[in-house]
């Protein structure tokens, strides 16, 4: 327990926020500093063929210690944290033996993590919970995944009685801005299957996800003195509000669940003359995904027809697709993870990801890659937390998966 806590606390000290406005890879220099730390740590605990490439990806290997022909498997996590909330100067703290009540994150600012708002907290009474101080995100997405992988690899190396095939490890930049797989070297990684350790609560096992796209919208208005604005002023902010009002409120994240898709207005910036809007578009169904994108195009055309040609411009791009079609032909990769969880006493929760992971894109790049829990909750915000015991169970699950691949060889 102390080992994984110390490791996780060390990792979250590194500010690794990705930057969607950057054209570099990684998108922020801080990710390179963290990648260097991980490279050194993998070498220190005994992995071989450890290297950090020019784009900040970190790779490592544990050689097989069995004579049986075991498929090479990999474990992957991402280094960056979400740009939605500050990841700088993270100050984690541990609530020992949580009593089920409110958790005061920040006395000065009166920020409270409350089970009334986050009822899942009640599942962890008596456990040790790592929280933020209420001013930043925590970074469990996905530094918890990294800590769990490194801890599991260290355990496997230090316990050679655990028989296993070749194991690959990789840590990627820029997953939070949809670029985590852009420069992933699948051929050099050379694994038959892999798992992203990037899920939420304990027991999560996911092999299907949203199809995802983004829509960047720019609106040009006309500004004149409001006293003489009649028939002259075109307020780009109001045109943006009009555009958003056309999208059904039923198709927003706050009103959807399970397989239901949505439009999410992630940010809007503007004044009378210029407004920029950024949406993410999500749906599990490819048919509905295409329809959602078509609807955005129709709304943009409507606004242009109403207020004049070139009033509004649209840049829309697909980010990832539902990995289900790539996983279903090789369902053994999911079944082994399911059995691993059951054998370490965890009830698997197989459900669709209401988002995406590096694994979605990697699956389409030839590396089937379902997703496994880290144990964290409330990712991307100041109420993020993770039970230490869930992190330890993730480590156990990784080790058990490694064992099962060797045991199941015929």
Provide the pLDDT for residue 181. 93
Helices (H), 129-216: 140-158, 186-189
What pLDDT, on a 0 to 100 scale, did the predictor assign at position 20?
A: 87
pLDDT at 223 over 70: yes
> Would you list the domain boundaries of the chain?
2-209+322-407, 213-320
- For the segment 83-104, what is each residue's pLDDT rounded down to a tens digit? 989 999 999 999 999 999 999 9
On whether the CB atoms of residues 149 and 78 are closer than 8 A, the answer is no
CB 212 within 8 A of CB 60: no
Q: Do domains 2-209+322-407 and 213-320 have the same CATH topology?
A: no
Q: What is the Cα–Cα distance from 406 to 404, expressed in whole angstroms?
A: 5
Binned at pLDDT 50, 70 and 90, residue 115 comes out as very high
pLDDT on residue 230:
95
Query: Is the pLDDT at 410 greater than 70, yes or no?
Result: no
For range 293-313, the mean pLDDT: 95
pLDDT at 409 over 80: no
Q: Is 33 helix (H, G, I), strand (E, B) or coil?
A: helix
For the record, the structure tokens of 351 come out as 């459900």
Does the domain made of 2-209+322-407 have the CATH classification 3.30.420.40?
no
pLDDT in tens, 349-383: 999 988 878 899 999 999 999 999 999 999 999 99
Is 1's pLDDT higher than 90?
A: no
2-12 vs 140-158: helix crossing angle, rounded to 10:
140
Q: Give the chain's largest Cα–Cα span.
A: 84
Q: What is the mean pLDDT of residues 316-327?
A: 94
**Residue 178: per-residue pLDDT:** 86
Which of 10, 29, 34, 9 is CA-nearest to residue 18?
29
Looking at residue 357, its pLDDT comes to: 80
Give φ, ψ of 335 to 5 degrees: -65, -40
Please provide the average confidence, as pLDDT, over all residues in the chain: 96
CATH 3.30.70.360 fits domain 213-320: yes
Taking the C-alpha atoms of residue 70 and residue 406, their distance in angstroms, rounded to an integer, is 6
47 pLDDT higher than 70: yes
Q: Given this model, what pLDDT does residue 387 score?
A: 98
User: What token pair was written down for 395?
Assistant: 């480590």
Q: Which residues does the annotation mark as catalytic?
A: 80, 175
pLDDT higher than threshold 80 for residue 397: yes
Q: b or e along 290-329 (b: 16 or more beta carbons within 10 Å of the residue's beta carbon)?
A: eebbebbeebbeebbeebeeebbebeeeebbbbbbebbee
* pLDDT tens digits along 60-77: 999 999 999 999 999 999
pLDDT at 2 over 90: no
pTM exceeding 0.85? yes
Across 113-126, average pLDDT: 96
Question: For the segment 133-151, what is each residue's pLDDT rounded down to a tens digit?
Answer: 999 999 999 999 999 999 9
Confidence at residue 114, expressed as pLDDT on a 0 to 100 scale: 96
Q: Please, which pLDDT band fits residue 309 given cuts at 50, 70 and 90?
A: confident
- Helix locations, 159-235, DSSP H: 186-189
């Amino acid at each position: 327990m102390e080992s994984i806590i110390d490791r996780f606390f060390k990792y979250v000290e590194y500010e690794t926020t990705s930057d969607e406005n950057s054209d570099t890879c990684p998108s922020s220099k801080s990710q390179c500093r963290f990648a260097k730390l991980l490279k050194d740590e993998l070498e220190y605990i005994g992995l071989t063929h450890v290297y950090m490439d020019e784009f900040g990806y970190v790779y490592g290997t544990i050689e097989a210690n069995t004579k049986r022909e075991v498929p090479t498997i990999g474990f992957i996590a991402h280094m960056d944290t979400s740009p939605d909330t500050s990841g700088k100067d993270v100050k984690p703290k541990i609530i020992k033996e949580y009593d089920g009540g409110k958790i005061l994150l920040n006395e000065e600012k009166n920020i409270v993590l409350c089970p009334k708002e986050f009822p899942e907290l009640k599942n962890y009474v008596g456990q040790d919970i790592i929280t933020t101080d209420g001013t930043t995100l925590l970074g469990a997405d996905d530094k918890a995944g990294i800590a769990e992988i490194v801890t599991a690899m260290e355990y496997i190396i230090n316990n050679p009685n655990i028989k296993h095939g070749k194991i690959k490890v990789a840590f990627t930049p820029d997953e939070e801005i949809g670029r985590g797989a852009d420069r992933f070297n699948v051929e050099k990684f050379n694994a038959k299957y892999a798992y992203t350790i990037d899920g939420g609560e304990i027991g999560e096992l996911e092999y299907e996800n949203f199809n995802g796209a983004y829509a960047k919208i720019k609106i040009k208005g006309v500004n004149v003195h409001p006293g003489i604005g009649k028939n002259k002023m075109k307020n780009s902010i109001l045109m943006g509000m009009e555009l958003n009002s056309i999208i059904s409120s039923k198709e927003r994240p706050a009103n959807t669940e399970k397989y239901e898709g949505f439009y999410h207005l992630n940010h809007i910036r503007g004044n009378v003359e210029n407004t920029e809007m950024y949406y993410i578009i999500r749906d599990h169904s490819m048919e509905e995904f295409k329809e959602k994108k078509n609807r955005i195009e129709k709304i943009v055309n409507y606004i242009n027809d109403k207020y004049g040609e070139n009033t509004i411009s649209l840049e829309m791009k697909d980010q990832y697709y539902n990995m289900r079609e790539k996983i279903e032909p090789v369902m053994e990769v999911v079944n082994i993870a399911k059995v691993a969880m059951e054998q370490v006493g965890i009830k698997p929760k197989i459900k669709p990801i209401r988002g995406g992971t590096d694994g979605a894109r990697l699956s389409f790049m030839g590396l089937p890659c379902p997703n496994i829990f880290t144990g964290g909750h409330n990712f991307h915000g100041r109420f993020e937390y993770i039970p230490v015991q869930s992190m330890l169970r993730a480590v156990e699950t990784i080790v058990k998966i490694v064992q099962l691949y060797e045991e199941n060889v015929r």
